C-alpha cells in the first residue's frame, strides 16, 4: 500500500509561489493499476516525481510499505561517463540486488551486446531507453511508476515492454500517466484526474473520462 496524505506542491517563481496542486490524497494497494489523467501542465509528472521520492512535497506526507520504481524507462538516473554495467552495479548495490543475476537479465532484455561495457554517453537514445527499462525490470519493484511509456522505442521494443510489464508482472501495482485514452482504459483498474489544482478519484472509467473531458477545455 502507498498512501498520499494531503499532498501539496508549490514551486518558487519570480512572481511568488506557484501551487501545482493542493490536498491531494489517494491510496494504491498491491497489484492495483491506476491511470492518472490530466492535460499538459496539470502536474502529472510532478505527482509521479513526488511518489517516486525524487522531489519532496511542500505539504503532506507519503507513507507506504511497497518499493517504488523511478519513472520507468527514464535514463536520467544514470551517470553518463560510466559504463552501462557500472551503472547497473551501482543500482544493484543501492537496491540490494544480486548484480550477476541483474546483469544477465539486462543483457537479455536490452540487447546491448558489448556496448554494455561502454560509457553511456556513447549510447544512442534508443539504447539508453533499453538499458533504463532493463535495469528497472531487473531491480523489480512492488510498484512501477510509468510516465508516457508509449513514447519510447520501436514497435518490437514496445511489445517486449508490454510483455514484461503487463504479462509477467501483472501482480504489481502501477501508476500510469498517459495521454493515450485507450491505453489507460485497457490497462488500468481505475483512474484519477488532475484538474483544478487537485486530484479527483473515480472507480468508473467512463466517469473519469467524462470529468477529464469537461475540465480539459475549461
Partner 1 sequence: MDENGPEVPRTSFAHSFAIQRRVIHALILREVITRFGRHNIGFLWLFVEPMIFTVGVTLIWSALKAVHGSSLTIAAFAVTGYSSVLVWRNMPSRLVDSIEPNLSLMYHRNVKIFDIFASRLLLEGVSVATSFLVLTIIFAAIGWLSLPEDPLKVVGGWLMLAWWGCALGMFVGALSHRSELVDKFWHPMQYLLFPLSGSAFLVDSLPPEFRDWVLLLPMVHGVECVRDGFFGSEFVAHYDLGYMATVNLVFTLLGLVEIRRASRNLVPA
Could you list the residues that contact partner 1 (CB under 8 A)?
A: 11-12, 49, 52-56, 58, 64-68, 70-71, 74, 76-79, 81-82, 86, 89-91, 93-96, 140, 142
User: What minimum distance in Å lies between the beta carbon of 119 and partner 1?
Assistant: 10
Nearest to partner 1 of 7, 208 (CB atom): 7
d(CA 166, CA 172): 9
Q: What is the largest CA-CA distance in the chain?
A: 52
Minimum CB separation of residue 59 from partner 1 in Å reads 11
**Complete DSSP assignment for 119-164:** BGGGS-HHHHHHHHHHHHHHH--SEEEEESGGGSS-HHHHHHHHII
Least distance to partner 1 from the beta carbon of 163, Å? 20
Written as nine digits, the cell of 73 is 524507462
Q: Which is nearer to partner 1, 43 or 191 (CB)?
A: 43
Q: Closer to partner 1 at the Cβ: 21 or 202?
A: 21
Give the nearest distance from C-beta 173 to partner 1 in angstroms. 13
**Residue 91 Cβ vs partner 1, minimum distance, rounded to whole Å:** 7
Q: How far is the CB of 185 from partner 1 (least distance, A)?
A: 29
Cell reading at 171: 501482480
Residue 90 DSSP class:
H
Q: Which residue has cell 470529468?
A: 211
- The C-alpha atoms of residue 174 and residue 32 are separated, in whole angstroms, by 6
CB atoms within 10 A of CB 26: 18
Q: Residue 49 or 184: which CB sits closer to partner 1?
A: 49
Asked whether the beta carbons of 162 and 98 are under 8 A apart, the reply is no
Q: 12 or 155, CB closer to partner 1? A: 12
Closer CB to partner 1, residue 48 or residue 184?
Answer: 48
Amino acid at each position: 500500500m502507498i498512501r498520499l496524505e494531503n499532498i501539496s506542491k508549490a514551486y518558487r517563481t519570480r512572481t511568488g509561489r506557484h501551487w501545482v496542486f493542493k490536498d491531494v490524497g489517494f491510496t494504491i494497494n498491491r497489484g492495483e493499476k491506476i491511470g492518472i489523467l490530466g492535460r499538459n501542465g496539470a502536474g502529472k509528472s510532478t505527482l509521479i516525481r513526488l511518489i517516486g521520492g525524487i522531489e519532496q512535497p511542500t505539504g503532506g506526507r507519503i507513507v507506504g510499505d511497497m518499493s517504488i520504481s523511478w519513472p520507468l524507462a527514464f535514463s536520467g538516473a544514470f551517470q553518463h561517463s560510466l559504463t552501462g554495467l557500472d551503472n547497473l552495479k551501482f543500482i544493484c548495490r543501492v537496491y540490494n540486488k544480486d548484480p550477476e543475476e541483474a546483469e544477465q537479465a539486462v543483457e537479455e532484455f536490452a540487447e546491448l551486446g558489448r556496448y554494455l561495457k561502454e560509457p553511456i554517453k556513447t549510447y544512442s537514445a534508443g539504447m539508453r531507453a533499453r538499458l533504463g527499462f532493463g535495469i528497472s525490470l531487473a531491480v523489480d519493484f512492488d510498484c512501477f511508476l510509468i510516465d508516457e511509456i508509449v513514447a519510447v522505442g520501436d514497435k518490437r521494443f514496445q511489445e517486449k515492454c508490454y510483455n514484461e510489464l503487463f504479462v509477467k508482472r501483472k501482480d504489481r501495482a502501477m501508476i500510469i500517466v498517459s495521454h493515450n485514452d485507450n491505453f489507460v482504459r485497457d490497462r488500468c483498474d481505475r483512474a484519477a484526474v488532475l484538474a483544478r489544482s487537485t486530484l479527483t478519484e473515480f472507480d468508473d472509467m467512463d466517469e473519469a473520462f467524462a470529468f477529464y473531458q469537461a475540465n480539459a477545455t475549461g
